[in-house]
């Protein structure tokens, strides 16, 4: 596997916070680290280009989306899977990062979603088009942004649930894939977990989705990392052991992205109008509502969500909510009545694409 690219540096703001014996001490240390991390990233200029694209909508069990909190009997919510394209400056020139470029055709083989589709019986094809409509492909979105596939330096996902990356990175040294110069940024723990899954995890990982990838196309990260000017990754374990969150400085402040939560409502439940969330928060004292389909580390996930919202800060669009732009964001949908977000971001766009200065070829450091 590759070493850390030369333009990237480890970040130490949260070092040791998760090792403290008392959970309350861990939380206090996470808040301190978040304040310092936020201040450092806000001190510089925003990135030149940030744009999110809707790829596909999918049904997702309500009991997972808002763990223990939602009172609506609606069994599913709708989540929107988005891809984000970010261009930023680094010591090695302009870099282009694609966040969550999901190959939804292949991702459908993820055991949980495959069984859900099969449960529709002979109406499966029609049912998929109704409850899981697609809006565009990764390559279509990239073309609409005016960015060539060979200009993409990195792809990354907050975690590897449902992901099949072979179309983008190819299989082996003689198959460069559709993004021939891109490398996958992934926490080492996530990569190792995905190659040694236990049954509770297997439900959510796409079989074979990582097979045959050239090792030189993988960058294993060991923790919080500054990617370049205005862009960072935070290790935010819980949803999975190797979960990480993207932090990007935009003209509207720091945008933080992961799937620890599925809606801005989950990060400010006391202000939510989703039935049950505010009551649950008042009764239990929780600050956030977990996305709880796997619960690899529930307490860590709780800390991670607080870390995310503290780094993000209030949204300029509605200061009752935080700048947490969920990678799979809940959306209202006619097929799942009675439940909709109080606030959502939708697609976002800031700035214009830059002329790309491609740096080192894959596998070099």
Handedness of CA 85, 9, 27, 200 (dihedral sign): positive
What pLDDT does residue 186 have?
A: 98
pLDDT value, residue 173: 87
3-state helix, strand, coil in the chain (%, to 5): 30, 20, 50
Each residue's pLDDT expressed in tens, for the chain with a length of 365 residues: 458 999 999 999 999 999 999 999 999 999 999 999 999 999 999 999 999 999 999 899 999 999 999 999 989 999 999 999 999 999 999 999 999 999 988 888 898 888 887 887 765 565 566 667 788 899 999 999 999 999 999 999 999 999 999 999 999 889 999 999 999 999 999 999 999 999 989 999 999 999 999 999 999 999 999 999 999 999 999 999 999 999 999 999 999 999 999 999 999 999 999 999 999 999 999 999 999 998 899 999 999 999 999 999 999 999 999 999 999 999 998 888 889 999 999 999 999 998 765 544 444 33
Per-residue model confidence (pLDDT) at position 146 = 95
Q: pLDDT value at position 116?
A: 80
Residue 337's pLDDT is 85
Q: Is this structure's pTM higher than 0.75?
A: yes
How many CB atoms sit inside 10 A of residue 307's CB? 27
Contact status, residue 236 vs residue 306, Cβ threshold 8 Å: no
- Closest of 153, 36, 146, 43 to residue 94, by C-alpha: 153
Provide the 8-state DSSP code for 191. H
Q: Which domains, and CATH codes, for the chain? A: 9-334 (3.60.15.10)
Residue among 191, 189, 194, 216 nearest 205 (CA): 194
Question: What is residue 131's predicted lDDT score, i.e. its pLDDT?
Answer: 67
**pLDDT for the residue 208:** 95
CB 291 within 8 A of CB 235: no
Chain-centre distance of CA 34, in angstroms? 18
- The answer to whether residues 264 and 322 touch, using CB atoms and an 8 Å cutoff, is yes
């Amino acid at each position: 596997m590759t070493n850390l690219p030369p333009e990237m540096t480890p970040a130490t703001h949260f070092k040791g916070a998760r090792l403290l014996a008392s959970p309350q001490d861990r939380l206090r240390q996470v808040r301190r680290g978040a304040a310092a991390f936020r201040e450092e990233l806000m001190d510089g200029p925003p990135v030149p280009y940030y744009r999110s694209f809707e790829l596909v909508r999918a049904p997702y069990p309500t009991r997972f989306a808002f763990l223990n909190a939602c009172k609506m009997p609606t069994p599913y919510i709708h989540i929107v899977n988005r891809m984000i394209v970010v261009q930023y400056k680094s010591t090695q020139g302009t870099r282009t990062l694609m966040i969550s470029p999901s190959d939804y055709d292949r991702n459908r083989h993820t055991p949980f979603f495959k069984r859900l589709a099969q449960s529709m019986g002979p109406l499966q094809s029609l049912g998929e088009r109704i409850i899981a409509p697609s809006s565009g492909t990764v390559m279509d979105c990239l073309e609409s942004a005016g960015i060539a596939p060979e200009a993409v330096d990195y792809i990354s996902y907050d975690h590897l649930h449902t992901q099949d990356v072979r179309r983008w990175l190819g299989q082996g040294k003689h198959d460069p894939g559709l993004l021939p110069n891109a490398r996958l940024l992934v926490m080492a723990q996530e990569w190792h977990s995905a190659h040694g899954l236990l049954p509770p995890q297997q439900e959510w990982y796409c079989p074979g989705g990582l097979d045959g990838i050239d090792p030189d196309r993988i960058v294993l990260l060991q923790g919080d990392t500054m990617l370049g000017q205005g862009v960072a990754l935070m290790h935010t374990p819980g949803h999975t052991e190797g979960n990480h969150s993207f932090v990007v400085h935009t003209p509207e402040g720091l945008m933080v992205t992961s799937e620890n939560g599925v809606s801005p409502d989950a990060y400010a439940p006391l202000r939510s109008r989703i039935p049950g969330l505010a009551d649950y928060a008042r009764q239990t004292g929780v600050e956030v509502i977990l996305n709880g389909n796997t619960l690899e580390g529930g307490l860590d996930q709780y800390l991670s969500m607080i870390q995310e919202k503290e780094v993000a800060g209030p949204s300029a669009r509605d200061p009752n909510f935080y700048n947490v732009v969920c990678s799979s964001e809940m959306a209202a949908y006619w097929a799942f009545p009675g439940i909709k977000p109080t606030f959502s971001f939708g697609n976002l766009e800031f700035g214009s694409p830059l002329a790309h200065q491609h740096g080192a070829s894959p596998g070099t450091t």
